Amino acid sequence: MSANKYVSLNNLSTFLDNIKDTFVTKDDFDIIESLALLNKAAIEANTSALKIMQTDIETLALRITA
């Protein structure tokens, strides 16, 4: 199975700190733009994770049927 599929607690903490730093000095338009970019990154990360999980499921299904 694939490694590094999930985000560690430490990385989530760093991500939260970065979000706080990003929004402290932003006006409303900058915040909306930042949120849109964060949303895009999250969608891309979810798509990647789903592909990895699909591959893992298919591999497991092959092992079960073998």
pLDDT in tens, 4-59: 666 777 888 888 888 888 777 767 788 888 889 889 999 998 998 899 999 999 99
| Start-to-end C-alpha separation, the chain | 17
The pLDDT value given to residue 57 = 95
CA gap 21, 18 in Å, rounded:
5
Q: Higher confidence at residue 30 or residue 1?
A: 30
The pLDDT value given to residue 55 = 93
Cα 25 to Cα 18, 21, 41, 43, 45, distances in angstroms: 12, 8, 21, 25, 26
